[in-house]
């Protein structure tokens, strides 16, 4: 919608919007990683900023996409990519991204230094 005056082809518009959205979200996440690395804010606050800030960025980015049927699927690639990135970083041994770890793990993380949703619940439930 915001980019519609600049493009006549809806698919091209949505691909450009996808890249703009990826760049904005990646910059937001990297900014929070940098803040956590340099310890400008407490770890808990930085993690909250990641959670609170990423959703509104995605919602605002919907205005970059067209009304075509494929736009919703392209727009959904951004939060899907963020989810995959978080899973790869938080699962021990898959991806080493030391800058991202201080911003995202919980204070009660496991032996690997990271916390994955559901692990603590499983430990309490099954006693592991």
The pLDDT tens digits for 70-109 are 988 999 998 888 888 878 877 766 565 545 544 444 544 4
pTM over 0.85: no
Residue 55 C-beta-side C-alpha neighbours within 13 Å: 4
CA distance 97 to 90: 9
pLDDT value of position 95: 60
pLDDT value of position 16: 92
Binned at pLDDT 50, 70 and 90, residue 111 comes out as very low
CA distance 29 to 31: 5
CA distance 120 to 92: 15
Percent of the chain with pLDDT strictly greater than 70: 70
CA distance 87 to 95: 9
Locate the domains of the chain by residue range.
4-126
pLDDT value of position 121: 52
With vertex at residue 63, the alpha carbon angle to CA 59 and CA 68, rounded to the nearest 5 degrees, is: 110
């Amino acid at each position: 919608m915001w980019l519609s005056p600049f493009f006549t082809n809806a698919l091209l518009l949505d691909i450009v919007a996808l890249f703009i959205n990826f760049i904005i979200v990646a910059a937001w996440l990297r900014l929070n990683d940098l803040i956590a690395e340099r310890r400008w804010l407490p770890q808990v606050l930085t993690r909250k900023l990641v959670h609170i800030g990423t959703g509104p960025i995605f919602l605002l980015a919907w205005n970059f996409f067209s009304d075509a049927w494929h736009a919703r699927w392209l727009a959904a690639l951004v939060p899907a990519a963020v989810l995959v990135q978080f899973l790869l970083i938080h699962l021990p041994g898959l991806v080493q991204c030391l800058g991202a770890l201080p911003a995202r793990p919980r204070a009660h993380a496991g032996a690997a230094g990271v916390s994955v949703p559901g692990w603590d619940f499983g430990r309490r439930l099954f006693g592991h």
